[in-house]
Amino acid sequence: MNRIEKKELVTDAAKLFQEEVLELEPDIPRKELCDMVGDYIYYQTADVSKEEADAIVETTCLFK
């Protein structure tokens, strides 16, 4: 996985990551998927806090 260099691209990267996971494992529980997306954002972006990662997860993963 590549690091996310620009903070503006985080939401797009999260959506792409989510799509890739769903393609590989379509029956993954929503909670597990959201946790994976959050971890991906947090660990792949240099200056995103855990709270910011959680907020991005809410817009990209939850409530769908």
What is the tens place of the pLDDT at every residue in 7-36?
A: 667 888 888 999 999 999 999 999 999 999
Structure tokens at 55: 């907020």
Q: What is the pTM of this model?
A: 0.79
Contacts of 44 (CB under 8 A, 6+ apart): 1, 2, 3, 4, 13
How many domains are contained in the chain?
Answer: 1
Give the separation between CA 31 and CA 35, rounded to whole angstroms. 6
Q: Is 48 helix (H, G, I), strand (E, B) or coil?
A: coil
Which pLDDT does position 35 carry in this prediction? Answer: 92
Please indicate, yes or no, if residue 1 is contained in any of the structural domains: no
Looking at residue 43, its pLDDT comes to 87
Domain, as residue range, for 25: 7-60
2 in a domain, yes or no?
A: no
49 or 20: which carries more pLDDT confidence?
A: 20
Give the angle subtended at the CA of 37 by the CAs of 20 and 15, to the nearest 5°: 55
